[in-house]
Amino acid sequence: MAERPSFELTKYSPPEKTAADYSEAEKEGFRQLFKPAVARGQTFNNTFLILLVVCLPLFFFSRHTAFYPLFIATFISIIAVMIVGSIVFQLRCPACKKPAEDTIRTFCPECGGKAIPGGLLYAGECASCGKKLRRTVKGRRLWKIKYCTHCGVLLTDTSI
């Protein structure tokens, strides 16, 4: 009888090392590696906002005229830029290579202390600073990112 596939690939695996395992020089190196990623992400966000402001009038104008193919092309290009940008410019921790904007795992993203992960019906909370780590109805996070939630390494001195 054939063996059933395991669901181990879908389970969360914590990083091998945490912030306590790295030296101060390594932590500073991680911060220096993270700075260009933040700058690229902010540049993409600003570029996308300008593209949106320029394309939205074109989008609405072409919908009401004979330029219907232009309407479809503009709509598809805006969606494509959103998808590609969210994949390419995803912020990742240079220490553990996990997404920085992911769900709360072990560490608080604001103070780097121990976090109590949330569940389906309740928000996570930091055991150190008491911050409620929740999202809005639309999925926006209501916390600032300074530390990696997976390994606890300080990513940036300013909040993202």
Which tokens sit at 97?
A: 């290579």
> Does 120 lie in the same domain as 66?
no
Q: Which residue has the tokens 């054939």?
A: 2
Which tokens sit at 33?
A: 């590696």
**In the prediction, which pLDDT does 63 show?**
65
Q: Which residue has the tokens 């695996």?
A: 13
Phi, psi of 148, deg, nearest 5: -75, 135
> Does 101 lie in the same domain as 85?
no
Question: Which residue did the predictor score with more confidence, 11 or 131?
Answer: 131
Q: How many residues does the chain have?
A: 160
> Does 79 lie in the same domain as 54?
yes
pTM above 0.95, yes or no: no
> Does 154 lie in the same domain as 101?
yes
Q: Number of folded domains in the chain?
A: 2
Segment 115-160, tens digit of pLDDT: 988 877 888 899 999 999 888 888 888 899 999 999 999 999 888 8
- Report the alpha-carbon angle 70-72-74, nearest 5: 65
138 in a domain, yes or no? yes
50 in a domain, yes or no? yes
Q: Which domain holds residue 53?
A: 22-90
**In the prediction, which pLDDT does 97 show?**
92
5 in a domain, yes or no? no
Cα(148)–Cα(113) distance, integer angstroms: 11
> Does 108 lie in the same domain as 84?
no
HSE-CB of 117 using CA atoms within 13 angstroms: 10
What is the percentage of the chain residues whose pLDDT exceeds 70? 91
> Does 160 lie in the same domain as 98?
yes
| Residue that finishes a domain, picked among 41, 69, 90 | 90
> Does 96 lie in the same domain as 66?
no
CB 78 within 8 A of CB 51: yes
3-state SS of the chain: helix, strand, coil percent to 5? Answer: 40, 10, 50
> Does 115 lie in the same domain as 78?
no
CB 87 within 8 A of CB 99: no
- Residue 103 banded pLDDT, cuts 50, 70, 90: confident
Q: Would the pLDDT of 71 be above 60?
A: yes
